[in-house]
Structure 1
């Protein structure tokens, strides 16, 4: 009789712990964290040039306040403000053995001058429909890496994200990326 009661009690405890573990939400800090996963170089088959690449990183955020709506353009997210972009990407070239942050230039035929391009961007709201709660996922961003004005073929990127509470994540860095150029 005691054995039967003990077995029932053990089964109830096991069932309760399984049920409890199924209902637990993951817990992350409210400051977003990102982890570099990969950088995939895309080569144009017609030209043989590395024109684009895909930056892949994972993210976590404890309160799920990642992303901006298109209408988020008032302070502090105004176009000329520090927080207009929520994905910050810096571009570096290896010049004579040292990585140097350099601007990417693009010819503007309207002004007949070169414009400085940015890799920074705004990604949409990732908050679950159930409201702010811990989230995690994988993010991919396609970047143009071909720079016909540069003689250097080795590049890298650094990136971070910013949540709606203006918390900046850690900064990630790609490894060295060798571009195929003409």
Structure 2
């Protein structure tokens, strides 16, 4: 539901190479993160939507963090499509023919996860999480227990969008151009999540965020938890 959620994007604060000293630190090639902060800015109207910010500190041994528009093909493609023996796409219409009669029906929630409507047909697909490199999951506390809040399925029968996203290549040379040279990297990332109704959805709910990042070699970091919070308690002007 694009009127409710927009994909977040990343602000880079203090990201830096750590090669200036004679003995640069040795970090594992798998990224590691630690939680830094979370804060909220309420929107004034439809032109200035609500915004939730979460920041993490990161370290990576070979600096392969970030994706740009050149990383849109396998293994970074957004969706996986599947073909039949004749090379054509498996579509919703194929549900009438074995062995494709076990495909899910085109209805909520499968319409959110498993089908792509193009100009000519409805194609069976699966999501590829390797398209993203930052993953933010929301949890809401009810009756003392935290439950996962699935943005994709939160507005039936419409499909929402998750706050999984992409941050740009962080490894930069002296001219601030992207660099693919392997070297240790550390800094802080602040991820901005924009939504037209974040405040009206959660009101006085107690929330928690889980955050994870991934490098271009598909190494996943550890997952960190935010502190629990209510939006009014972390609101900034």
Taking structure 2 as the reference length, the TM-score comes to 0.58
Unpaired segments of 5 or more residues in structure 2? 1-19, 80-127, 174-178, 233-237
Shift of the 97–151 alpha-carbon distance from structure 1 to 2, 3 Å rule, reads farther
Please say if 1:96 is aligned against 2:148.
no
What is the rounded CA distance, in whole Å, between the counterparts of 1:35 and 1:104 in structure 2? 24
Residue 136 (structure 1) aligns with: 186
Residues 93 and 152 in structure 1, CA contact (< 8 A), matched pair in contact too = no
Corresponding residue pairs, total? 154
Deviates more, 1:157-166 or 1:123-132: 123-132
Residue 33 (structure 1) aligns with: 32
Residue 176 (structure 1) aligns with: 228
Residue 163 (structure 1) aligns with: 215
1:7-156 equivalence runs, <5 A: 22-44=21-43, 51-80=50-79, 81-104=128-151, 113-129=157-173, 131-144=181-194, 146=198, 148-149=200-201, 153-156=205-208
**Which structure is higher in RCO with an 8 Å CA cutoff and minimum separation 6?**
2
Deviation at 1:102, TM superposition (A): 1.4
What is the rounded CA distance, in whole Å, between the counterparts of 1:171 and 1:142 in structure 2? 18
What is the rounded CA distance, in whole Å, between the counterparts of 1:101 and 1:68 in structure 2? 27
Deviation at 1:45, TM superposition (A): 6.4
The higher radius of gyration belongs to 1
Give me the CA root mean square deviation: 2.7
Deviation at 1:36, TM superposition (A): 0.3
Runs ≥4 residues deviating over 6 A? none
Residues 34 and 58 in structure 2, CA contact (< 8 A), matched pair in contact too = yes
What is the rounded CA distance, in whole Å, between the counterparts of 1:45 and 1:73 in structure 2? 35
Shift of the 30–170 alpha-carbon distance from structure 1 to 2, 3 Å rule, reads same
What is the rounded CA distance, in whole Å, between the counterparts of 1:22 and 1:179 in structure 2? 41
